[in-house]
Amino acid sequence: MPRSTVRIQSGEDVVRVRQEVRRIAIEAGLGLVDQTKIVTAASELARNTLDYGKGGEAAIEIVQAGPRRGVRIVFEDNGPGIADIELALKDGYSSGKGMGLGLGGAKRLCNEFAIESAPGQGTRVTVARWK
Amino acid sequence: MVTPHASRLPGILSGFERQILTDWLGVLRQTTDARLPAAELESQCEIIIARLAQGCRDGNVSDIEAASFAPLRDILADLSRTRALLGFSPAETATFLFSLKQPLFDRLRDVPGAEAASLASETLTVSQLIDALGLFMMETFQRAREEVIIRQQTEISELSTPVVRLWQGILALPLIGTLDSARTQVVMENLLDSIVRFEADIAIIDITGVPTVDTLVAQHLLKTVAAARLMGADCIVSGIRPQIAQTMVHLGVELNVVSKANLSDAFALALRRLGKTVVSVKRPLAADIA
Amino acid sequence: MDRIPILKLGEALLVTIQVDMHDRLAMALEEDLTTRIVDVAAKGVLIDISALEIVDSFIGRTLANIAMIAKVLDAVTVVVGMRPAVAITLVELGLSLPGVRTALNAERGMAMIRSLLDAEGMAPGEEAEGAA
């Protein structure tokens, strides 16, 4: 199964994540709307990794469950972590320059969403979108 | 359970093939209805017995995933799929294979010199083998059914969301039936694509044919309206039935969009917004010309 | 750093975004447009996003900011050509860009700017003057 890892250190890398996710989503056979949703979610999360996680990386892969195919992305950083995950997921919550739609918005755009984080432990966000 | 001596099943299957087939067909005739022609049933059973014999020839009577069982798995999968499509019930499909147990047990018992202990363990082995094969058939059967359902869902959702062009710049989407979120996604995409294709300024979503509107459906409608607005087109919702209007108010759902009682009122509003009017033309009647 | 070109078309400024924008490019566009609106006393801003394959919350916020800034500077903003998949995604994301005017394509967008400016020109007081 195709797999790709993108390092996120700059704004240009966020664009690169979008392009890689698009490429793999097309390969997985996702429809145009599903592609757009997962790419947009990836853009939000890559920006989070860059801005709040002080950089990290995104691992993108095609996943298969029975007859369904999809794309799964894992974002990992070694940043300060998130103390209150529930609060961070709320719309309108923002600790930086975004509109406060980053995490919550990304969650709405995906079929699967998991977040592991603790203060000082970095953050790992896993998302998936199925066909 | 592994018996100290090799299973007698392979020997029985190759030695008493005709007898087993006759017995099995005898059982099947009492349980299977006339949907399958007798000749077809007979040839299917014959192949199954032959491939079962082939499968356990090398003494393996427990692992149906083994390569020697591949031909048997193929025909069983094929049978399950055909029966699923023919509308057989899961029980009927499973019973078909399970009814092979009795003829096999009979033959095992008739083998000369069979002791009680080895007969019991042999019966168990055969029973487990047939059970495993039966489960395999069930899984295939279930998958075939699911495939049919998925295909029908796609067909229904594609069929039931036609976007019609009422006038230059005015589209209508007459919705019929229950809206779930999968269908709504198809509906949304269809409408928005049509807006681009026809360069439509106004889209009328007619819900006369939608039996109920719950909170979720209302949200889907609102999302469609919002997406159309982002693209530069306006939506009008028409045909909200009285009881739906009532339910929505009671549910506390606020449909914050322009709505009209019926499609024709909505069409009239759309024409007005585009600066068009409808006038009656004075025209001589056919009788006057003649 | 590369920048997105801004064209002047009569009283309006025209921007066609054709590249996958990173955040700094979007911020640069916001700055450049603000300056140009003042420089040429533009009355309208047309932003064509028909080439954009996604609009995330940052780009969405930039568009909303441009519209607000332009309004303060007395210019109307129309965003045109948003693709259906992008629109669906934006709504799901929770962004409906309430302050931003939209049109199907550049042609409709220009017509909208013109009619908005015309309507402004015919404000109640002026209309009376013109009639007299």
pLDDT at residue B19 above 70? yes
CA distance A104 to C94: 9
pLDDT band at C129 (very low <50, low <70, confident <90, very high): very low
pLDDT for the residue numbered C128: 41
pLDDT at residue C122 above 80? no
Strands B258-260 and C6-9 turn out to be unpaired
pLDDT for the residue numbered B171: 96
Nearest CA in chain C to A11: C22
Kindly report, residue by residue over C56-115, the tens digit of the pLDDT. Answer: 999 999 999 999 999 999 999 999 999 999 999 999 998 889 889 999 999 999 999 999
| Of A55-69, B139-153, C64-78, the least confident | B139-153
pLDDT at residue B246 above 90? no
pLDDT for the residue numbered C103: 97
Mean pLDDT for all residues in chain B = 84
Domains along chain A with CATH numbers: 3-130 (3.30.565.10)
Residues of B in contact with A33 (CB under 8 A): 185, 189
Close Cβ partners of B231 (under 8 Å, ≥ 6 residues apart):
B192, B195, B196, C82, C83, C84, C87, C102, C104
- C-alpha distance from residue C113 to each of A9, B230, C46 (Å): 41, 16, 8
Residues of A in contact with C18 (CB under 8 A): none
Q: In what order do the strands lie in the sheet with A56-65?
A: A3-8, A56-65, A68-77, A123-130, A112-117
Residues 196-255 of B with CB under 8 A from C: 196, 199-201, 223, 226-233
Answer whether B227 sits within 8 Å of C87, measured CB to CB.
Answer: yes
Close Cβ partners of B133 (under 8 Å, ≥ 6 residues apart):
B64, B72, B76, B97
- The conformation of residue B67, written as its DSSP 8-state character, comes to G
pLDDT for the residue numbered B285: 67
Residues 25-64 of C with CB under 8 A from A: 53-58, 60-61
CA distance B205 to B260: 10
Residue A57's DSSP bridge partners are A7, A76
Domains along chain C with CATH numbers: 6-122 (3.30.750.24)
Close Cβ partners of A81 (under 8 Å, ≥ 6 residues apart):
A117, A118, A119, A120, A121, A122, A123
pLDDT for the residue numbered B248: 78
pLDDT at residue C125 above 50? no
Residue B38 vs residue B238, higher pLDDT: B238
> What does the radius of gyration of chain B's CA atoms come to, in whole angstroms?
33
Neighbours of B28 (CB within 10 A): 19
* B268 to chain C, closest Cα gap in Å: 22
Helix, strand, coil percentages in chain A from 3-state DSSP, rounded to 5: 35, 30, 30
Neighbours of B32 (CB within 10 A): 17
Give this prediction's pTM.
0.73
- Contact between B133 and B72 under an 8 Å Cβ cutoff? The reply is yes
pLDDT at residue A105 above 50? yes
Q: What is the mean pLDDT of residues B58-72?
A: 81
Identify residue C93 by its one-letter amino acid code. Answer: L
- Contact between B122 and B3 under an 8 Å Cβ cutoff? The reply is yes
Report the residue from C84, C102, C104 with minimal CB separation from B199.
Answer: C104
Residue B29 vs residue C58, higher pLDDT: C58
- Contact between B76 and B48 under an 8 Å Cβ cutoff? The reply is yes
Report the residue from C84, C92, C103 with minimal CB separation from B196.
Answer: C84
| Of A68-72, B84-88, B234-238, C29-33, the least confident | B84-88
For chain B, first and last CA: distance in Å?
100
- C-alpha distance from residue C23 to each of A15, A21, A106, B224, C130 (Å): 9, 18, 17, 28, 47
- Contact between C94 and A91 under an 8 Å Cβ cutoff? The reply is yes
